[in-house]
Chain A
Amino acid sequence: MPGLNTSLSIAVQALQAEQGALSVTTNNISNVNTPGYSRQVAVLNEAPTFNENGTIFGGGVTLEQFQSVRDQLLQLRIYEETQQQSNSQTQLNALNQVEGIFSDPTKGVGGALSAFFNSISQLSTNPTDSNARQAVLTSANNLAGSFHQAVTSLNTIGAGLDQSVPQTVDQINRLTTQIAKLNGQVAQMQGLGQDPGTIQDQRDELIRQLSGMVNVNVTQSEHGLTLTTGNGVPLVVANQSYALQSNANNTVLEHVYSAQGQDITSQITGGQLGGTIQIRDQVLPQLFTQLNDLASQFTASFNTAHQAGFDAAGNAGGNFFTPLASTTDAAANFGVAITDPSLIAASSDGSAGSSGNLTQLLALRDQQLPSGASPLDMYSNLVLQVGNLGANAQSDVTSSNASVQQLTDQRSSVSGVSLDEETTNMIRYQRAYEAGARVVTTVDSMFTTLMNMGVTT
């Protein structure tokens, strides 16, 4: 039969255990708003029993450990969805800027094309009117200006994206360094059989941030986590991080290289970096191609028609627009070749008063270029494409935001701190502590009774 001393020590153990459990509650409550924090629970176990004269007695309670509550699978899905979310958001931001260039149908290349043809139409009512001739040149120069404006705006957007590449790469490297360090600590603690709780939370939060930057593949091995990007390019292996580099060979556009110097630009598909590269290397060049096609095909067909006519002096028409050597940069090099309004080849018979060739030039408004569409249709296709890209990015952002929100909610339902729960626990621990303390008081009074036995007062 255990003695009073045993009861006392069991009661003290209980006091310590409840106190320990209360400290978990305290920590949980303190971290209720800490991003990435996973709530901890105190793992209480029965202490080893002891056997006295064939009777088995309970040995009280021990506070085994503090255990973080987490769902690793959910965490991985959050990483994946974050890559998608951040990728679409980056694309959407860039596309919103691109859309600005094409949003007003009365302005830009489309509006200028329309105005240019109108000025030719105006001239056709009086082909010898020098003001109307000047107006044609002015509107042609406006058209050139709007091509240049579109090119400049697209280039500015591209340059902004390009500048963000090395910055993002820096952020990635800073994150992978920290993750590698924490990774080592987690492995070490797990080796000692301890729950790495807080450190793991920090690491998970950093990986989530990393997922916002770049596509990350997370694999768990006995040495800890391995993070790779692209086609298996290592970022973090155990406690070692591998820094990405940008623009190692000083090309015009910033490329991304692995620590081993391999160009992995095209393998970056997720996160902010993936979105940036996608817009910079796929979308903008595509838009440039369309603008360039329009500029070069329009220049060529207009010049051909212009050369079929005669200028005010009766000479055969020359080039109206500057002939373009190649389609590359056609929109940027688009320009008006003549400055003298009398050189406009309005006439079809060589006399100054003929407007015959203007009718031919006007017909180009609806004529198919080699692309298979009229000039304005080519432009409206461009607008359609920009609009579709923007609308798709918008819906991607909306859906990935919803996914992330849902996953975060789900994670929170597992790992999030509930103040109600913590309050309840607090009361439980407090009551248990009070009861334990009462046992101590009771044992104490029993000791007193024992001590006073036989003492007459």
Chain B
Amino acid sequence: MRVNPDMSGDVLSAIWQTQSQENTALQQMSTGKRVNVPSDDPLAAAQMVGNQDQSNRTDQYLQNIDTLTSQLQTADGALSSVVQALTQAITLGVQGTTGTLSAGNRQQIVQNLQGIQSQLVQLANTSVGGNFLFGGTANTTPPYKLDATSPSGVTYGGNTGTNTVTVADGLNLQTNLPGSQLFQNSSGDVFGALQQLISSLQSGTATDAGTATNQLRSAFDFVTGQRIFYGNAVNQLNSTQSYLQQEQVTLKSQENTLIGADLTKAATDLTKATTAHDAALAAAAKILPTSLLDYLK
């Protein structure tokens, strides 16, 4: 039987094939990736688009959480100062209700209370990066102004709007409480009660001052209660943060499963390919030069 006398084509293609296997294994080991172009594994490459987006989202969510946590903590801190100021105001109110006070003493208390009033306005105008935290969504200008003509002693320039921020897929977190809800609620009106205390000490009876002090107490209770909102939000951010950090790890490992090279396998493949390549070369070296001419003298 006549066989193909020209082995060079087969030999070359065998050498090229083993060489390309070597290259593939080497590329996988050096890049650490099994999928370098979409055709290496079309499905994995397509899924990587989603994986990469998810990983970007997670990074952004974590960044959002950092920003929000500091905003919420500032707001909470401001409310804590409000509560302290209110405690002080209540103490002064209790002093004011004792009927034995001189007019001068009363005047002294009123001045102290007015100081607290402007301190509270300042606290209610707390801002972060130009955003007034208690102005609702109209938060680009200070929401509270002292206003002697107003029954509450202040005017509110903010609105009742709230914002939500997406901090994880499907999780939209409310990030603010408007001042109108916090400080001028029907269940506890900080500014109204304070103003009433001031006016009753200026021109009212001790009973009036007592009523106003009681109102101040319920305002104190209300604001203290509202602080829970901020505490909860921060807690939720904390737990979301650890979930997202876990998610980052999961995504990274998913990425590795999708396009990462199995280095052990790549190393084994490389060894196999090198052995095959050596064998092909050795066979070529043996076959190609032999000819009948070698044996004819």
Nearest-CB distance from A35 to chain B (Å)? 11
- On whether the beta carbons of A124 and B64 are closer than 8 Å, the reply is yes
Residue in B5, B57, B164, B175 whose beta carbon sits within 8 Å of that of A420 in the complex: B5
Interface flag for B246 (CB, 8 Å): no
- On whether the beta carbons of B42 and A105 are closer than 8 Å, the reply is no
- On whether the beta carbons of B48 and A105 are closer than 8 Å, the reply is yes
Closest to B290 in A: A420
Give A184-224 interface residues, CB cut-off 8 Å to B: none
Segment of A228-236, A257-265, A353-361 in the binding face: A353-361
Complex CA–CA separation, A113 to B13 (angstroms): 44
Interface flag for B231 (CB, 8 Å): no
Interface flag for B51 (CB, 8 Å): yes
Closest to B164 in A: A359
- On whether the beta carbons of B296 and A110 are closer than 8 Å, the reply is no
Interface flag for B278 (CB, 8 Å): no
Interface flag for B111 (CB, 8 Å): no
Closest to A111 in B: B52
Interface flag for A163 (CB, 8 Å): no
Complex CA–CA separation, A114 to B48 (angstroms): 12
Mark A372-391 against chain B: 1 for CB-CB distance below 8 A, else 0: 00001101110111111111
Residue in A103, A128, A381, A420 whose beta carbon sits within 8 Å of that of B37 in the complex: A103
Give B17-40 interface residues, CB cut-off 8 Å to A: 36-40
Give B268-297 interface residues, CB cut-off 8 Å to A: 291-293, 296
Q: Given contacts A105-B52, A354-B163, A384-B45, are A122 and B60 in contact (CB under 8 A)? A: yes
Interface flag for B50 (CB, 8 Å): yes
Q: Given contacts A379-B49, A414-B2, are A351 and B159 in contact (CB under 8 A)? A: yes
Query: B interface, how many residues as a size bin?
Result: 35 or more
The interface residues of chain B lying within 8 Å CB-to-CB of A355 are: 137, 163-165
- On whether the beta carbons of B42 and A391 are closer than 8 Å, the reply is yes
Interface centre among B51, B59, B165 (most CB of A within 10 A): B165
Interface flag for B140 (CB, 8 Å): yes
Residue in B5, B47, B56, B137 whose beta carbon sits within 8 Å of that of A380 in the complex: B47
Q: Given contacts A384-B43, A390-B39, A413-B4, are A349 and B292 in contact (CB under 8 A)? A: no
The interface residues of chain B lying within 8 Å CB-to-CB of A394 are: 39
- On whether the beta carbons of B46 and A383 are closer than 8 Å, the reply is yes
Complex CA–CA separation, A200 to B53 (angstroms): 62
The interface residues of chain B lying within 8 Å CB-to-CB of A380 are: 46-47, 49-50
Closest to A354 in B: B137
- On whether the beta carbons of B50 and A353 are closer than 8 Å, the reply is no
- On whether the beta carbons of B172 and A383 are closer than 8 Å, the reply is no
- On whether the beta carbons of A128 and B131 are closer than 8 Å, the reply is yes
- On whether the beta carbons of B52 and A409 are closer than 8 Å, the reply is no
Nearest-CB distance from B61 to chain A (Å)? 7
The interface residues of chain A lying within 8 Å CB-to-CB of B186 are: none
Complex CA–CA separation, A359 to B167 (angstroms): 11
Mark B165-182 against chain A: 1 for CB-CB distance below 8 A, else 0: 110010010010000000
The interface residues of chain B lying within 8 Å CB-to-CB of A134 are: none
The interface residues of chain A lying within 8 Å CB-to-CB of B13 are: 401, 405
Residue in A352, A376, A383, A389 whose beta carbon sits within 8 Å of that of B45 in the complex: A383
Interface flag for B9 (CB, 8 Å): yes
- On whether the beta carbons of B137 and A353 are closer than 8 Å, the reply is yes
Interface flag for A171 (CB, 8 Å): no
Residue in A96, A349, A383 whose beta carbon sits within 8 Å of that of B161 in the complex: A349
Instruction: List 19 contacting pairs A-B, 8 Å CB cutoff, sorted by A.
Output: A96-B37, A103-B45, A124-B64, A125-B64, A126-B131, A127-B163, A128-B131, A351-B136, A352-B140, A353-B140, A366-B169, A380-B49, A386-B38, A387-B41, A390-B37, A391-B39, A414-B2, A419-B292, A423-B291
Extra pairs beyond A352-B138, A362-B166, A417-B5 (18, CB < 8 Å): A96-B37, A110-B52, A121-B166, A122-B60, A125-B64, A125-B175, A349-B137, A351-B159, A380-B49, A384-B42, A385-B42, A387-B46, A394-B39, A412-B9, A414-B2, A416-B5, A418-B2, A420-B5
A residues touching B (Cβ–Cβ < 8 Å)? 95-96, 99-100, 102-103, 105-106, 110-111, 113-115, 117-118, 121-122, 124-129, 347, 349, 351-356, 359, 362, 365-366, 376-377, 379-381, 383-391, 393-394, 401, 405, 408-410, 412-414, 416-421, 423-424, 427
B residues touching A (Cβ–Cβ < 8 Å)? 2-6, 9-10, 13, 36-43, 45-53, 56-57, 59-61, 63-64, 67-68, 71, 129-131, 135-140, 159, 161, 163-166, 169, 172, 175, 291-293, 296
4 closest A-B pairs (Cβ-Cβ)?
Answer: A387-B42, A390-B39, A387-B38, A418-B5
